[in-house]
Structure 1
Amino acid sequence: MKPMPDFLAQVHDPRDPSPWLALYLDQSTPLPDPVKAAWLADSSSGSRQYLLPFLRPLARMAIVLFQVCKVFVPRNWSHSRLLHRLLAWGLKRFVSPEANWLILRHFHLGSQVLAFIATNSPVPVETSPLEPEDLDALKDDMFLKHDLNLFNFVIRLNQALRAKGLELKKAEAVDFSMIREPGVRLEDMPKGRLNFLDLQSAIELFTPLYQLMLTDNDFWRAANSLQLDETIGIYAATLLDAPEHLILVNNKHPLVPLSTLRAGHRLVIHGLSTEMLHCLLVKFRAAREAGAAGGHL
């Protein structure tokens, strides 16, 4: 069993309160307690505190250098399969159990959110769910497929709506059947002596590699898929008629592309936004099952 995070094991000292305990106990951010504990344990790690400040500027410098280098290679130069094998290898050997768990969860949660929107939209929409059971499953171009899924879903949904002259609106009877807890478990993640790297440091390290081994088009699309967080949040809020829940689903305006230099940080926000949106859907489902949803559903 995973040891209790330090901020939960320590006795509260009013003269030296733990900011991590405050964030964990605060209920304004919708996250399940196990997810919040894992997120904050990863965020409060020594790797996040001492290593990330050095890695981040080096990673961003590497992005600039790789961009210059790619001017001299063929436009369609890409090694996606090798990239994903390297990512899976690095995650298994160097990344913390909490970070790996959150990464695997992200694919499941993202697939469920898209399935929720597709099922409750007034038009049929095809989805391509990604539900990796372990880190080895990521070798199957999983990160690239995830980015493609987001854009393909938005295109398919809106093509179908436009073809029928319809718009998304509050669903008459909301279907939550696809919203569930993923089967991946924290205790199954690798726990070797070198599994110390926190989520943000790992993402900052892997982002230049992602840029180097994919085409410019694939990397640009991956970076700008993060700006669809608001779009997906608006779709879900429209179906639920609950726009007030959009405040924490925020990753910049979808119509204003940003520099890829901040892609690592924004990817972390993307993962957290997905967790929060999924948690909100779980709460709406629970309210429905308890018969307490009233006019909101």
Structure 2
Amino acid sequence: MAKQQYSALLKALAVDNSIPIEQAAVDLWLKDVNNPLRWLVRPLFQAFFVLLLHLVWLFKRLPLPQFSAHGPLQKLICWFCRHFVSREANLLILRHYATESNILNFIIDNTGKDAVTPLALYPKTIEDMKYASFVEHDQCLFSAFAELGHWQRLESPKQTLNWTHWQPVNMDDFRVEKRWTQFLDFESAHALFMCLFCLLLKKDEYRDAINGFNLDQSMAVRIGQMIGDPTLTEMAYNKHPLYLVGPWNLGQRFLMHGFFTEYMYARLEQLREPQTAPQCAEEKAE
């Protein structure tokens, strides 16, 4: 595929850092969104698969025995990502595991509840995702919130922030082999797989997964109080976690959840680096 030149808008977006987001994520996204096939096949995929998704959604709610196939689902996703999904999209997926795990670990570390299990989902390759599965990714989110229990509102920001389980995202740590068959952009690939997710998860597992995005607002509220920045809730597109919805508009909600974790990660990394730099300098001096 011939190299595409950025439009005037994409050139502007490439340097706009008004909203916190790491440049590595911006570069990956703009390259992925500039894929010509994204503007050709994605609308066709969404038109067909959104209708199919609703049919599968209805089928799973018939009074029939529930079934799931997490293992085959995960293996198929990894095989497809390895061979057909763009390298940029694969790197964005791996980044998402790390950014969300960091956000949740930050909340856990700074809530003061030692019994809550920190997340360890930091895959570095597509192969790792067979084990750090998308299903486990969702379940860890729900388990963390359940273990944290009721949130006690903070009247003032925390004076000292805990970064014990924070793992900075280093793009050099990710390994994604580039293949000539990797032509699909992030959104087109998601459109292809959303029906399979619905089919191969139990009805409540899938319903919970597509509504877990709304916990973005809850995470933003908690972190905003911890660091004294109430504007963080503006970064959450998915809101009102008590309002459960079906699969309508799933592609956009899914994508905006990814943006949210990138925004929150970058905002927290802006705080972490100045705080940990003196400590690193002391360790080197010793």
Answer whether TM exceeds 0.5 for this pair.
yes
Partner of 1:182: 169
The offset of 1:187, in angstroms, is: 7.4
Pick aligned residue for 1:261 from 248, 252, 256: 248
The offset of 1:258, in angstroms, is: 2.2
Does 2:12 match 1:44?
Answer: no
Task: Please tell me whether the aligned partners of residues 108 and 182 of structure 1 are also in contact (alpha carbons under 8 angstroms).
Answer: yes
Partner of 1:231: 218
The 3 A distance-change label for structure 1 pair 260 and 128 is: same
Q: Distance in 2 between matches of 1:187 and 1:142?
A: 17
Does 2:56 match 1:66?
Answer: yes
Secondary structure class of the residue paired with 1:233: helix
Give unpaired runs (5+ residues) of structure 1.
8-16, 292-297
Partner of 2:123: 132
Matches within 5 A, 1:191-202: 191-202=178-189
Q: Distance in 2 between matches of 1:186 and 1:58?
A: 37
Q: Distance in 2 between matches of 1:168 and 1:256?
A: 25
Q: Distance in 1 between matches of 2:39 and 2:239?
A: 26
Secondary structure class of the residue paired with 2:149: helix
The offset of 1:168, in angstroms, is: 4.6
Q: Distance in 2 between matches of 1:180 and 1:4?
A: 34
Matches within 5 A, 1:130-169: 130-140=121-131, 142-158=133-149, 166-168=152-154
Letter in 2 for 1:109: T
Compare 196-205 and 174-183 and name the one that shifted more.
174-183
Partner of 2:261: 274
RMSD: 2.3
Task: Please tell me whether the aligned partners of residues 133 and 184 of structure 1 are also in contact (alpha carbons under 8 angstroms).
Answer: no
- Percent of aligned pairs sharing the same letter: 27
Partner of 1:104: 94
TM-score relative to the length of structure 2: 0.88
Q: Distance in 2 between matches of 1:209 and 1:54?
A: 17
Letter in 2 for 1:281: L
Q: Distance in 2 between matches of 1:52 and 1:129?
A: 33
Matched positions, count: 275
Compare 63-72 and 30-39 and name the one that shifted more.
63-72
Secondary structure class of the residue paired with 2:249: helix
Task: Please tell me whether the aligned partners of residues 98 and 186 of structure 1 are also in contact (alpha carbons under 8 angstroms).
Answer: no
Task: Please tell me whether the aligned partners of residues 101 and 186 of structure 1 are also in contact (alpha carbons under 8 angstroms).
Answer: no
Task: Please tell me whether the aligned partners of residues 42 and 187 of structure 2 are also in contact (alpha carbons under 8 angstroms).
Answer: yes
